């Protein structure tokens, strides 16, 4: 039975719930090997897994014990785990060659890259890399993703039926650090939108996604591997707090940064405060394959043609608005008729330039209504939006 909310468990967060002292009490603690018996070491408060973990994966009971430890690590522990040598070096190098070819082709075509947390063009990005890799080099793709560490931690955090997506990110020498943030889903909205979601959704969001990264080159600290703040995923109002200056300053003072070698992998709770570091090296183009693994439960039961619905109701919306229908009435219809979430999309064509996410279909329908578009213009933009979201692998 669900407990009745009290003053101590707000239904909606406010900026007043972002208490830096309470945050410090959560994050200023040490992880130990006793708490992570399958880890080889604890470095800068982060459990590092290697041979000791692999010794326990052949039997179902041992595998489940390892997964239980990983869940506790991601949920109630530091929120992050490093896996040394998770991917074989030769397998990674074959994938790296494919990714470099894709980047070279993008550059030759003059394609700039929008980014969630960096200036467009600052990094080399391969959006939708999973499809492109598979279609370009199927054998290399199979060797790369036949990876039991990826399966182990994905099943532990999300259960079966998960979906992997991949974005290749290359931060070249001179690339600057990202600001501290949380990740998808609520990490990709601004503070006001985060405040509009009830507290139980803030708690749910991290359970829908697993974040990961595979090192495709050796990453010494000067190359700017990702900065992390262990235990920060446990702060309930963190999707609001990371927008606030005092929390960003605390992150800069207390974050950790682990060097990685080619084939190492990092997996972390998406609510962990983190951000890529500055690449101050002279000659290391820091390449990582950013893996985002999604729960099967993040999907609707039925497919819905919101493009057709948006077109069909537009005339009615215009008539009712002209007749004096209030904004709430109009927005209620738009919320059902149009896709209000911009993801999933093809980030090659539908880029988050100028914000954390591209426009949603609902944004377009509302703009058409309030700016007095004609039906033909709306239909053309809806069709263009569908084309932008279509996978670019073929």
Bridge partners of 287, per DSSP, are 170
Tokens of 212: 């990961």
> What mean pLDDT is reported for the chain?
91
Query: Which pTM does this prediction carry?
Result: 0.84
pLDDT of 347 > 70? The answer is yes
Q: What is the pLDDT of residue 116?
A: 45
> How many CA atoms, within 13 angstroms, populate the side-chain half-sphere of residue 34?
1
Q: Is the preceding peptide bond at 344 cis, omega within 30 degrees of 0?
A: yes
Q: What is the pLDDT of residue 181?
A: 96
Residue 305: DSSP 8-state:
-
Rg, Å, the chain Cα set: 22
Total residues found in the chain within this entry: 394
Give phi and psi for 264, each to the nearest 5: -70, 150
What CA–CA distance (Å, rounded) separates 67 from 206? 17
Q: Does residue 226 contact residue 274 with C-beta atoms inside 8 Å?
A: yes
Q: Does residue 272 contact residue 228 with C-beta atoms inside 8 Å?
A: yes
Q: Is the preceding peptide bond at 185 cis, omega within 30 degrees of 0?
A: yes
Residues 178-197 have pLDDT tens digits of 899 999 999 989 999 999 99
Residues 22-57 have pLDDT tens digits of 999 999 999 999 999 999 999 999 999 999 998 899
Residues 259-302 have pLDDT tens digits of 999 999 999 999 999 999 999 999 999 999 999 999 988 877 67
């Amino acid at each position: 039975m669900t407990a009745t909310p009290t003053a101590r468990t707000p239904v909606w967060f406010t900026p007043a719930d972002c208490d830096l002292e309470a945050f410090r009490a959560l994050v200023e603690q040490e992880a130990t090997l006793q708490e992570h018996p399958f880890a080889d070491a604890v470095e800068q408060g982060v459990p590092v897994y290697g041979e000791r973990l692999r010794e326990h994966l052949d039997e179902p009971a041992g595998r489940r014990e390892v997964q239980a430890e990983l869940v506790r690590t991601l949920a109630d522990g530091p929120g992050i785990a490093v896996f040394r040598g998770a991917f074989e070096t030769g397998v990674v190098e074959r994938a790296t060659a494919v990714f470099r070819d894709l980047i070279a082709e993008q550059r030759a075509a003059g394609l700039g890259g929008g980014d969630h947390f960096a200036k467009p063009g600052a990094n080399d990005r391969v959006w939708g890399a999973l499809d492109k890799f598979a279609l370009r080099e199927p054998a290399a793709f199979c060797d790369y993703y036949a990876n039991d560490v990826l399966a182990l931690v994905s099943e532990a955090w999300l259960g079966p039926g998960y979906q992997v997506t991949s974005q290749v990110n290359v931060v070249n020498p001179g690339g600057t650090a990202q600001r501290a943030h949380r990740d998808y889903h609520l990490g990709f909205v601004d503070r006001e939108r985060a405040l509009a979601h009830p507290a139980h959704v803030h708690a749910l969001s991290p359970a829908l996604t697993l974040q990961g990264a595979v090192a495709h080159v050796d990453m010494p600290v000067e190359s700017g591997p990702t900065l992390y703040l262990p235990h920060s995923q446990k702060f309930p109002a963190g999707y609001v707090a990371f927008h606030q200056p005092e929390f960003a300053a605390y992150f800069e003072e207390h974050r950790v940064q682990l060097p990685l070698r080619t084939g190492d992998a990092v997996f972390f709770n998406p609510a962990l405060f983190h951000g890529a570091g500055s690449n101050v090296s002279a000659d290391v183009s820091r390449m990582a394959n950013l893996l985002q693994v999604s729960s099967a439960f993040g999907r609707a039961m039925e497919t819905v043609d919101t493009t057709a619905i948006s077109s069909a109701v537009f005339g009615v919306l215009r008539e009712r608005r002209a007749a004096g229908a209030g904004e709430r009435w109009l927005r209620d219809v738009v919320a059902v008729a149009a896709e209000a979430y911009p993801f999933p999309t093809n980030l090659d064509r539908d880029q988050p330039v100028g914000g954390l996410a591209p426009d949603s279909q609902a944004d377009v329908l509302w703009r058409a209504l309030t700016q007095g578009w004609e039906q033909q213009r709306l239909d053309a933009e809806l069709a263009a939006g569908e084309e932008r979201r279509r996978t670019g692998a073929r």
